[in-house]
């Protein structure tokens, strides 16, 4: 009997464990088995679920992987996701949003792919640098190790050294990706792009090796594919899906589950064809068709039994905590049901940016709006407004006809569109339209107020005019001393000290010290703060120890809701825990659109979803 067989004795399994460590843990020049095993790693303690794409990218591998991980986490298992990117960038920090969507920032300052935002929101857990890997990171680590003589004179090759580094990182995540840096039950691996991409080939080979080394009871592979539905034919076609899955099988990986993306629910006939040509049982072929919200996908997966199929494949049924699952499911379903419930209020929300042609550039803002709207019973009609051609002369004509009930001015880099944002902030401030400024949106609000109210002529930022004498936004001296692109950036989670009695403090439930995520280089110039405050601008969020302004507001007697943050509040919004500043904005928008909406009515709806009442 093979020691990997279910009926193998404990002694046989122990012998197999010792053989595994001795065989694959070597790094000398005398063996071809190069697969670094971290010290203390226990084979079989953690199982791996790998999600790979076929046909085309952008189908939602992250959504599927995060939804499946959520189902298993709800059952009481600990999970850790990781995104494997094929590009040579070390991180996502310098990527143009039009190329790759928004740059998501983790609490530890890692600039990463937007899929990690999906994982954080669905799993309701903070991730770290361990959950994100690029080819640039892999190659950098290997080349530096080679220069240090870390390969004992071996010629360094894609196999086994590059694939070995991938497996080492996956095993380290298995050991340290859990609560308080402990081990996890399941690691969910998402490979960017599609099968057949040259840049991802070494990831796929590493996963094939990992499946071989860990054993079939510790590895589950998932293929995400696409079912075509040409309008001229009037039926679904699965041939492209079949060929894509065949390409995966040619790499030596047999999928255990298949998720079929499609516009409409995948027909039984199409699923049968995919099942037959991929050797995957029909119950493990899932229709992942378009839905009103991604947050309804976990329950759809559960209804089709995908969570039980994964537990069967990995022999993990004994780890399920039914009490934990019932509680987690009830809490999530309250939110999921509110998504499709009839909502009493509709509001028009304007997002004024320069990347509005691609919604993925502001994905987290879009989700934060969805979270707040669902909890407060609002149906948001989001207007994506490009401010590149907006100025003081046409701003009223551009915005007034839209009948906006709230406006968000998001972050960004570069001079294009800045004057349009400044003019837009002036319009919404004077018109009393609820406003939320984020990062650069916070800065342009300070600039507009300095120009229009505080009497600081030509107020601007040294980001756009380094020789400016009347700068209200600039780099602090200690930042200027740091060289290199990105070197002066404030990145990741930092504390924000809120002013007692301020609107921001009320929004955060009275907490005076909150943690938010930053991604910026320029600050409010300390020399301008006194003049701005004297003119009525309230800096209600500050750095606990440095003269760094992190939040602004206007008194509610002057403006119904005028709030800004140097940080990115959208990055910490979760379905079950909507971000307070977005909750306040949404509540203010409801009141502007529906004056009859009372605080009690809004809070009554909020209580149906189990969220904290909006405090605006």
Q: Answer yes or no: are the C-beta atoms of 602 and 590 closer than 8 Å.
A: yes
Q: Are strands 219-226 and 186-191 parallel, antiparallel or unpaired?
A: unpaired
Q: Answer yes or no: are the C-beta atoms of 337 and 612 closer than 8 Å.
A: no
CA dist., res. 584 & res. 503, Å (int): 9
Q: By C-alpha distance, which of 214, 193, 213, 215 is closest to 204?
A: 193
Give the pair of three-digit tokens for residue 539. Answer: 């800096």
Sign of the torsion formed by the C-alpha atoms of 266, 271, 273 and 278: positive
Q: How long a stretch of residues is the chain?
A: 616
CA dist., res. 303 & res. 297, Å (int): 10
CA dist., res. 287 & res. 261, Å (int): 6
Q: Is 439 a catalytic residue?
A: yes
Q: Are strands 549-553 and 406-409 parallel, antiparallel or unpaired?
A: unpaired
Give the pair of three-digit tokens for residue 410. Answer: 């998001």
Axis crossing angle, helix 322-340 with helix 61-74, rounded to the nearest 10: 130
- Give the residues across from 437 on adjacent strands: 409, 564
Distances (CA, A) of 282 to 21, 285, 306, 366: 36, 5, 11, 35
Q: Helical H runs in 315-351? A: 322-340
Q: Is 16 a catalytic residue?
A: no
CA dist., res. 412 & res. 356, Å (int): 12
Does 231 sit behind a cis peptide bond, omega within 30 degrees of 0 on the bond before it?
Answer: no
Q: With 0-12 CB in 10 A as exposed, 13-18 as middle and 19+ as buried, what is 18?
A: exposed
H or E element in which residue 544 lies: none
Give the pair of three-digit tokens for residue 362. Answer: 């502001």
Q: Is 568 a catalytic residue?
A: yes
Query: CA geometry: angle at 175 spanning 170 and 177, to 5°?
Result: 80
Catalytic residue among 220, 260, 439, 528: 439
Q: Return the HEC string of 143-201.
A: HHHHHCCCCCCCCCCHHHHHHHHHHHHHHHHHHHCCHHHCCCCEEEEEECCCCCCHHHH
Catalytic residue among 100, 405, 427, 568: 568
Q: Is 559 helix (H, G, I), strand (E, B) or coil?
A: coil
Catalytic residue among 209, 370, 419, 570: 570
Q: What residues act catalytically?
A: 439, 568, 570
């Amino acid at each position: 009997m093979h020691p990997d067989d279910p009926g193998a004795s404990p002694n046989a399994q122990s012998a197999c464990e010792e053989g595994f460590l001795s065989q694959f843990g070597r790094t000398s020049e005398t063996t071809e088995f190069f697969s670094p095993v971290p010290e203390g790693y226990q084979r079989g303690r953690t199982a791996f679920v790998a999600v790979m794409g076929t046909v085309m990218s952008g189908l939602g591998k992250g959504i599927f992987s995060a939804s499946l991980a959520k189902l298993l986490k709800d059952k009481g298992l600990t999970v850790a996701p990781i995104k494997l990117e094929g590009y040579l960038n070390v991180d996502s920090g310098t990527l143009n949003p039009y190329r790759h969507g928004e740059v998501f920032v983790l609490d530890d300052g890692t600039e990463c792919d937007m899929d990690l935002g999906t994982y954080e929101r669905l799993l309701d857990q903070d991730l770290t640098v361990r959950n994100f890997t690029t080819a640039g990171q892999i190659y950098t680590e290997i080349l530096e190790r080679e220069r240090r003589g870390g390969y004992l004179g071996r010629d360094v090759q894609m196999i086994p050294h590059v694939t070995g580094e991938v497996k080492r990182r996956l095993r380290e995540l298995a050991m340290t990706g859990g609560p308080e840096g402990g081990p996890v039950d399941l690691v969910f691996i998402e490979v960017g792009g599609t099968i057949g991409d040259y840049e991802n080939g070494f990831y796929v080979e590493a996963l094939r090796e990992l499946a071989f080394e860990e054993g079939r009871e510790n590895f589950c592979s998932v293929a995400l594919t696409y079912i075509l539905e040409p309008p001229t034919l009037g039926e679904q076609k699965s041939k492209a899906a079949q060929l894509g899955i065949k390409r995966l099988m040619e790499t030596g990986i047999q999928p255990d589950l298949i998720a079929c993306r499609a516009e409409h629910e995948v027909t039984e006939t199409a699923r049968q064809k995919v099942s037959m040509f991929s050797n995957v049982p029909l119950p493990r072929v899932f229709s992942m068709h378009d839905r009103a919200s991604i947050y309804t996908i976990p329950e759809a997966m559960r209804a089709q039994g995908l969570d039980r199929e994964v537990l069967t494949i990995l022999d993990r049924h004994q780890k399920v905590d039914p009490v934990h699952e019932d509680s987690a499911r009830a809490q999530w379903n309250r939110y999921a049901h509110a998504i499709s419930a009839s909502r009493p209020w509709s509001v028009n929300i304007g997002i004024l940016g320069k990347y509005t042609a691609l919604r993925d550039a502001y994905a987290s803002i879009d989700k934060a709006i969805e979270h707040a709207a669902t909890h407060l019973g609002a149906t948001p009609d989001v207007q994506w407004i490009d401010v590149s051609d907006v100025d003081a002369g046409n701003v009223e004509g551009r915005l007034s006809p839209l009948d906006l009930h709230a406006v968000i001015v998001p972050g960004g880099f570069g001079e294009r569109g800045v004057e349009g944002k400044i003019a837009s902030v002036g319009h919404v401030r004077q018109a009393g339209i609820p406003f939320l400024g984020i990062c650069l949106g916070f800065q342009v609000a300070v600039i507009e107020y300095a120009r229009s109210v505080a009497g600081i002529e030509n107020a601007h930022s040294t980001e756009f005019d380094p020789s400016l004498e009347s700068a209200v936004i600039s780099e602090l001296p200690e930042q200027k001393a740091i060289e290199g692109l990105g070197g002066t950036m404030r990145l990741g989670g930092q504390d924000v000290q809120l002013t007692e009695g301020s609107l921001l403090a009320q929004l955060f439930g009275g907490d005076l010290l909150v943690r938010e995520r930053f991604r910026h280089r320029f600050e409010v110039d300390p020399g301008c703060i006194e003049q701005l405050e004297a003119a009525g601008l309230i800096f209600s969020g500050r750095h606990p120890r440095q003269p760094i302004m992190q939040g602004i507001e206007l008194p509610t007697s002057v403006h119904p809701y005028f709030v800004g943050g140097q940080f990115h509040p959208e990055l910490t919004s979760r379905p079950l825990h909507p971000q307070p500043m977005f909750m306040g904005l949404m509540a203010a928008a409801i009141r502007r659109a529906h004056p009859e909406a009372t605080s009690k009515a809004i809070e009554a709806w909020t209580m149906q979803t189990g969220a904290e009442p909006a405090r605006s």
